[in-house]
Structures are given as C-alpha cells and as structure tokens.
Amino acid sequence: MAKVKVKFICTECGTESPKWLGKCPGCSAWNTMAEEKETVVKTQGAFVTGNGTKEKPRSIIDIESGREPRIETRLNELNRVLGGGVVPGSLILVGGDPGIGKSTLLLQTSHALADTGLKVLYISGEESVRQTKLRADRLGALSKSLFVLCETNMEHINEAIDSLGPDFLVIDSIQTVYEPSVQSAPGSVAQVRECTSHFMRLAKVKGIATVLVGHVTKEGAIAGPRLLEHMVDCVLYFEGERHHSYRLLRAVKNRFGSTNEIGIFEMGEDGLTEVSNPSEQFLSERPLGVSGSTVVASVEGTRPVLVELQALVAPTHFPSPRRTATGVDHNRMALIIAVLEKRIGMFLQTQDAYLNVAGGVRLDEPAVDLAAAVSLASSFRDAPTRPFDVVFGEVGLTGEVRAVSRAEQRVKEAEKLGFKRVIMPEKSLKGWKPPAGIEIIGVGTVSEALKAALE
C-alpha cells in the first residue's frame, strides 16, 4: 500500500527536514519551511518515486547537432530577449510585480503567433473567459487560432491540450494550477513543483512551446521553490515602475540565447508598444543648463542606451546625511561619494545626496560611475554641465578612470542623437577610430573628468 510521508522543504534552497524548523539549516532563512506530503510506493523491496525513462545512453558523437528552430513573433523586443524567437518545446517562466503587464504581453504574443497560423492555447486560472475577451478586445488580439480556457485542474488541462494540439501554450499562472493527486493546496511547494514538472515533460515530448506566469514575492523573486527556475529553459522578469509607462523585459536565464539583452516597451491604452529608439525617449524631457544632470551612455546587451542621470546634493539637518539611489546600486553611489571626498577634496559629510536615473530605468554596469561622479560634483558646486556632453567610465578607489567595453558603440549612439562631446576613459580609445562629427575627450582620473565637464 502507498505510504503518506510528511516532510518540510525550504522554499528558498530546497533543504528537506522531517520536522518544521523556524530557521532553515541550509540557507539560514527564517519562516521558509513549507509542509509537503509525499506518497511513496514500495515495490519489490525498493522505493520508487517520480517517472523514469527507458532510453538507452548514446555516444555524444552519434547525436545529431543543429541550431534550434525559432518561431519569430511580431514583437522584435521579445525576440531580442529570447535570442531570436520562441524555440519549439521550450519552457519559459515569466515573472513580475502584480499589474505590471505580464498578461498583456503574453496575450499580445499569443495573438501575434496565432496570426501566423499557429494554434495557441491561453489558459487562465485567475480570470474568466469573458474577462480575457475584454482584454483581447482592448488590445485587438482577436484571431480564430487563439483559443482561451479558464481551468486550474491539471487533468482537465491535459484533456484540452490533447484535443486541441496547440503549438504554443500559456499558463497564467502556475500558482493557480493544481494536481488532484497531490494532497496540497494550489500554490504550495509540492503543487508548483509537480505541475511545472508535468508541463516540462509535456513541452519536451510534444514539442509545445510553453510559457508559465509566476507570481513574485515582496522581495521581487519568483514565488515557489527555487527548483522552479532550474527546471525551465528561460526565466524572464518584467520590470518597471508603476508611475512610469516604460517596461523592461530582462532575461536572467536563457538556454537558447544571451542573458544580457533587454526589451523595452511602453504601456499605453492599446497595450504594450515597442520602443525602437529608447535613448530618444529617455532624453525627451531632459532639462538643459541645470546642475546635477548628466547624460550617460550605458550598454544593455548589445544595444547602447543614453539615459539622463540626475543628482541632488543639499545640506542636511541630521547628524548622519542621507544617501538615496534610485536606478543605480546604492553601494556604488557610496563608493563614488567616498572617492569625491578623499581624492577630490569635496566635503560631503554634511550633505544629503540623492541620485536618480530618469525614466524608471535601472543601470547595473560600472560604466555609470563617472557620470554619477560628474552629476554629484555638478550639484555640489552648483555648476551646470554642458547640455550636449555624454559621460561614461568606471571609477576606481584611487580616483582613476578605468576602461569599459563597447566604447565605439556608445560613441556612435551619442553622435546619432546629436551630442557634441564625449568624456570617456582614455584607455578605451585604442583599437578604433572615433567619428569625425564628435569631440572625444579621454581622461585618466576623476579630477580630469570634472575639469573637462564643469569648467
């Protein structure tokens, strides 16, 4: 007979324990142990769990190799992030904050694929069929090859997939689907793991490209066991600020492409529209002749993006000054302030410092350091920067400016948008010829950059 075994699994690292613990012994996280019931069947003196395969091992030389075929959507930004399109038989996980636009993005993608003649099945466990139809009417996502189903039972979902035979499948969301044979509530660790494992086998055996929508926690990570991200082929995060119209699609895992690319969309009344020239959009409201404003040339994946970096330095009324960074790493901001105090001689210990990336974009690369230093110094001295300057470079602890990658692409993007000067690391000038229509100023230290930008 089957024996029901109760165990507790950490939702962060997957550590198992026979009893509940307040603190996980594996990752030291608090209140992450979730109860899970497992049915163990004893057969011929051995315990059997899971599903096995009878495929024989083959030599890697005898296995045929070739590029994975791609299904291109009409959303070029999505194709860029996925590495050229959707791979048949792949399992994709999409996460994001509530209301950020995950369902809108996937419904538009489903409509784009259905227009090419593919059968698309959109299964929603959170909205009724009528609610999905209302969104489709607003987005104009109406196609005979797009089928909609409101279901959360895994057995009924299997019947619908077998009868329809779709080429593209969307599950919105994985936390609402449940397997009747698993004695846990929908959204639990056991249910999410079992349902995801089932969709993974379904995608690989039948070649159905499957997209799973995942909820996120308050820390921003995808809810459920960490194993969920290891099982899928691609993990996408849909990011953006609630009060900004721009949305960023970022890949943190991709077995069929790069994880450095991002897709930029703008949310409107008719859904998401692609931003073909993000630099022009981000700089459209930039004030000219104002202290603390600097344009930085950042690279996201293979695409250079020009963004406005704003800084405000003001006297503080508290014993310890405030340091606030939005869109950049707070630790990098503290490092740059320390370099300005120690190497440049700016007395910022009695000043509050605020650093913001306009447009709701987040910049993670070190090439933003020099522009942040120029913005902070500009606001502290109340000396405006030149309106047609672009600054980029990495700042070291000794005050030196280090070389960064893809300098040529950054300069060409600045020239295309009409900028006149570029302040950049002098060591990044080797190996390429600057364009004739823009002035290049190579600097080796932060003091040289401040002298060129503010005087």
Q: Please tell me the least confidently modeled range out of 59-73, 121-135, 141-155.
A: 59-73
Q: Identify the domain boundary among 234, 253, 276.
A: 276
The pLDDT assigned to 60 comes to 85
Instruction: Quote the mean pLDDT of the chain.
Output: 88
- Looking up tokens 């105090």, which residue turns up? 341
User: Are residues 251 and 286 located together in one domain of the fold?
Assistant: no
**Residue 446: Cβ within 10 Å count:** 25
In a domain, 67, yes or no: no
User: Are residues 16 and 153 located together in one domain of the fold?
Assistant: no
Q: Which domain holds residue 27?
A: 3-48
Confirm whether residue 83 is marked as ligand binding: no
Q: Identify the domain boundary among 224, 248, 276.
A: 276
In a domain, 64, yes or no: no
Confirm whether residue 102 is marked as ligand binding: yes
The pLDDT assigned to 183 comes to 78
Q: Identify the domain boundary among 227, 254, 276.
A: 276
Q: How far apart are CA 376 and CA 309, in angstroms?
A: 10
In a domain, 70, yes or no: no
In a domain, 90, yes or no: yes
Q: How many domains does the chain have?
A: 3
Q: What's the full length of the chain, in residues?
A: 455
* Backbone region of residue 70 per phi and psi (left: phi > 0; alpha: psi in -120 to 50; beta: other values): beta
pLDDT tens sequence across 416-434: 999 999 999 999 998 898 8
**Residue 109: Cβ within 10 Å count:** 23
H helices within 277-421, ranges in order?
278-282, 330-339, 369-381, 407-416
The pLDDT assigned to 280 comes to 84
The pLDDT assigned to 431 comes to 87
User: Are residues 290 and 421 located together in one domain of the fold?
Assistant: yes
Copy the structure tokens of residue 116. 């090419």
In a domain, 422, yes or no: yes
User: Are residues 142 and 267 located together in one domain of the fold?
Assistant: yes
**pLDDT surpassing 80 at residue 301:** no
The pLDDT assigned to 49 comes to 42
More confident residue, 211 or 243: 211
pLDDT tens sequence across 4-52: 678 888 877 778 888 899 998 888 888 888 877 765 545 444 333 444 4
**pLDDT surpassing 70 at residue 2:** no
Reported as type and span, the H/E element at residue 269 is none
The pLDDT assigned to 218 comes to 67
User: Are residues 400 and 442 located together in one domain of the fold?
Assistant: yes
Confirm whether residue 99 is marked as ligand binding: yes
In a domain, 60, yes or no: no
Confirm whether residue 59 is marked as ligand binding: no
pTM to 2 decimal places = 0.76
pLDDT tens sequence across 401-417: 999 999 999 999 999 99
User: Are residues 44 and 100 located together in one domain of the fold?
Assistant: no
In a domain, 63, yes or no: no
The pLDDT assigned to 236 comes to 94
User: Are residues 169 and 255 located together in one domain of the fold?
Assistant: yes
User: Are residues 308 and 352 located together in one domain of the fold?
Assistant: yes
User: Are residues 364 and 244 located together in one domain of the fold?
Assistant: no
The pLDDT assigned to 46 comes to 38
The pLDDT assigned to 48 comes to 37
Widest CA span in the chain: 84
User: Are residues 305 and 450 located together in one domain of the fold?
Assistant: yes
Confirm whether residue 186 is marked as ligand binding: no
Q: Is 204 helix (H, G, I), strand (E, B) or coil?
A: helix
Provide CB contacts within 8 A for 108, sequence distance 6+.
75, 139, 141, 271, 272
Confirm whether residue 100 is marked as ligand binding: yes
Residue 181, domain CATH: 3.40.50.300
Confirm whether residue 98 is marked as ligand binding: yes
The pLDDT assigned to 186 comes to 86
pLDDT tens sequence across 60-111: 888 877 667 889 998 999 999 998 899 999 999 999 888 889 999 999 999 9
In a domain, 373, yes or no: yes
The pLDDT assigned to 347 comes to 92
Peptide bond into 173 cis (omega under 30): yes
Q: How far apart are CA 308 and CA 306, in angstroms?
A: 7
CB-CB contact of 431 with 406 (8 Å): no
Confirm whether residue 180 is marked as ligand binding: no
DSSP secondary structure code for residue 411 in this structure: H
Residue 357, domain CATH: 3.30.230.10
User: Are residues 122 and 236 located together in one domain of the fold?
Assistant: yes
The pLDDT assigned to 220 comes to 64
**pLDDT surpassing 50 at residue 288:** yes
The pLDDT assigned to 239 comes to 85
User: Are residues 263 and 374 located together in one domain of the fold?
Assistant: no
